[in-house]
Amino acid sequence: MACAWAFLSGKGGTGKSTVALCAAVGLARAGQKVALVDADAGVRNLDMMLGMENKIVFDLLDVIEGEATLEQALGPVKGTPGLSLLCASQVRDPSEMTGDALCALLGSLRERFDQVVVDCPTGIGAIVQAIMSCVDEAVIVTTPDDIALRDADRAAGLVSQRGGARARVVVNRVRPEYVKRGLQYAPEAVAATLDAKLLGAVPEDEEIRRAALERRMPGEGEGGRALASLALAMLGRPAQETQRRRLFPRLSPS
Ligand SMILES: Nc1ncnc2c1ncn2[C@@H]1O[C@H](COP(=O)(O)OP(=O)(O)O)[C@@H](O)[C@H]1O
Ligand SMILES: [Mg+2]
């Protein structure tokens, strides 16, 4: 039975899709069979980020309504063996997808894959609430500033209220020099505030933005390495800690 991960955020634009996508690719590169689910009906973007927008024929609603099988709707990601993408509908009314039906579908994916990675819609609406009740790990993606943190705190509240999932946090767009100057919080402080285990910290890196524009995975820079090491942390492997020390040498406990 697969482990199911949901990536959520209180605020939009914190890097949820970037982090979920890179985590899923990393898991597949580590040999896992991975289903990546874009649950953001109407404003999905993982298909575009993967250059697959013309290849997706069937979506989550088609499967829920029996118009297509899961196998028909799952698109294999070219260049990443083991990774398949399943998307919410881009054109139908988002309210047509109920939380119960989505959870049942995630259950079917769990039986077929080693890991299920869900990119949630922004915020803590009904679909996100439903997803929280049927995944194992809820990864809150936030930036280390007051505004994002206030919204992340609401997301953390939802996770604990729903009970089922374990709360984790990825702190994205960290600028170590800002942390030193007290303009951003240290990743550990963010995790403590949210009462969630720190899964990883990703620096602000222009290469991440450029890679997204060019529709490729980030290269070997600090940002790319931090994103790649998230998958290892998800698998309980230690490389992430080494990576974090390199990125934030003064912020890590000795
Ligand atoms: N660590 C980072 N450094 C630089 N740019 C980033 C970083 N993380 C995300 N971005 C960029 O920020 C934008 C929003 O990211 P995205 O993953 O779409 O956020 P969300 O899914 O939370 O709305 C994208 O252009 C993405 O390339
Ligand atoms: Mg997104």
Q: Which of 104, 86, 167 is nearest to 132 (CA)?
A: 167
Distance 144 CA to ligand 2 centre (A): 18
What would the pLDDT profile of 21-72 be if each residue is shown by its tens digit?
Answer: 999 999 999 999 999 999 999 899 999 999 999 999 999 999 999 999 999 9
Can you give the pLDDT at residue 81?
98
pLDDT for residue 162: 84
Q: Is the pLDDT of residue 242 over 80?
A: no
Q: Is the pLDDT of residue 249 over 50?
A: no
Checking if the pLDDT of 241 tops 80, the result is no
Q: What percent of the chain has pLDDT over 90?
A: 87
Cα 254 to averaged position of ligand 2 atoms, centre (Å): 35
Is the per-residue pLDDT at 254 higher than 90?
Answer: no
Q: Is pLDDT at 250 greater than 80 in this prediction?
A: no
Give the CA distances from residue 227 to residues 51, 171, 230, in Å, rounded to whole numbers and listed in that order: 19, 11, 5
pLDDT digits over 105-124, tens only? 999 999 999 999 999 999 99
Mean of the per-residue pLDDT values of the chain: 93
Q: Which domains does the chain have, with CATH numbers?
A: 3-247 (3.40.50.300)
pTM listed for this prediction: 0.93
Interval 38-49: pLDDT, tens = 999 989 999 999
Which protein residues touch ligand 1 with a CB less than 6 Å away? 9, 12-18, 172-173, 202, 204-205, 208-209, 212, 223
Q: Quick one: what percent of the chain has pLDDT higher than 70?
A: 93
Atom number in ligand 1 closest to CA 205: 3
In a 3-state reduction of DSSP, which class is residue 3?
strand
- pLDDT, tens digit, for every residue of 180-207? 999 999 999 999 999 999 999 999 999 9
CA-wise closest residue to 229 among 218, 241, 217: 241
Q: Which atom of ligand 1 is nearest to the CA of 19?
A: 17
136, with CB counted inside 10 A (0-12, 13-18, 19+), is middle
